[in-house]
Structure 1
Amino acid sequence: MEVGSRDSGGRRMLSQINVTPFVDVMLVLLIMFMVTVPMMQSGVEVNLPEVAEVPTLDQAKEPLVVSLTRAGEIAIGPVKVENPDQLMPVLRQALAGRETQEVFLEADRDVPYGRVVQVMAAIRGAGITKLGMLAQPPEEPAPRRR
């Protein structure tokens, strides 16, 4: 039978596509995407100290960041190490394919200074000569209304 032709009862057949199921599936996929994206963000929660002026990083290349959390955990991206002595081989492996031997350290403001120095010494022990510290600018107070 041809599209749009009449059948034996004289009724005409419709040749339109029903898009309602397609829209339903798309909405379900959109909701699933919106729920799962925040879960995919990985990182280490670090409360950075505030400084008056923070230099901007060159965003052309992704820097290697060593994180030191309030609990004393050390992480290089998703890789966590137990103590600073285990940091050296992990750093050497992470920097093997990079052109610049540059590392940034972000330490929680509540971490004891001695722990930060231990991690810095381990980074230097891995042969890194360029070590930067990450901080955040202070929150500016809201302007007063007169």
Structure 2
Amino acid sequence: MQVNGTHSRSRMVSEINVTPFVDVMLVLLIIFMVTAPLMTQGIDVKLPETAAPAIPSEKERLMVTVSKDRKVYIDDYAVDLESLGPKIAAIYQNQQGQQGVFLRADESLPYGFVVRVMGTIREAGIDQIGMVTEPLTGLTTGDLTEK
């Protein structure tokens, strides 16, 4: 029998030290918070402004974007204008019912080019084409009728 208490030191400790785990998790959280905004990529398009209200959509639709330099994208994938129709038709080939596309076009594009893209989409058999715009900033509807 030992008096100085060495017997109690030889017992195993069954507690888990969570401090290193918490430290690692906090570092990972900070890394993800810093890098997440850098991972989002998009197509730079200045949309025209309008006072029209948003149209509610119950289904997710395909997004066709035309940039300022006349490049055409299906969602985030670049396509040339000649292959736009067949690719959209292939995407919607197995879907039944109404098929729709949202079209985002830069406001500096000529009207004729935007109509050409719309015609290509229509030739692919798309029933509905929605034009994506930005809400008016600083102007009211009354300001538009006075000018």
For normalisation by structure 2, the TM-score amounts to 0.78
Change (3 A) 1:43 1:98: farther
- Aligned residues of 1:54 and 1:136 also touching (Cα < 8 A): no
% identity of equivalent residues: 44
Aligned to 1:144: none
Aligned positions, number: 133
Using the alignment, how far apart are the partners of 2:39 and 2:129 within structure 1?
Answer: 29
Deviations 1:63-103 (A, max 9, x none): 11110011111001122112x21111111112123332111
Q: Which amino acid aligns with 1:85?
A: E
Secondary structure at the counterpart of residue 31 of structure 2: helix
Secondary structure at the counterpart of residue 21 of structure 1: helix
Structure 2 unaligned regions, length at least 5: 140-147
Q: How does 1:48-127 map to 2 (within 5 A)?
A: 48-58=47-57, 60-82=58-80, 84-99=81-96, 100-127=98-125
Structure 1 unaligned regions, length at least 5: 1-5, 142-146
Give the Å deviation of 1:54: 2.6
Deviations 1:90-132 (A, max 9, x none): 1111212333211111101111222212111111111223112
Change (3 A) 1:61 1:42: farther
**How big is the alpha-carbon RMSD for the aligned residues of Structure 1 and Structure 2?**
2.2
Using the alignment, how far apart are the partners of 1:21 and 1:7 within structure 2?
Answer: 29
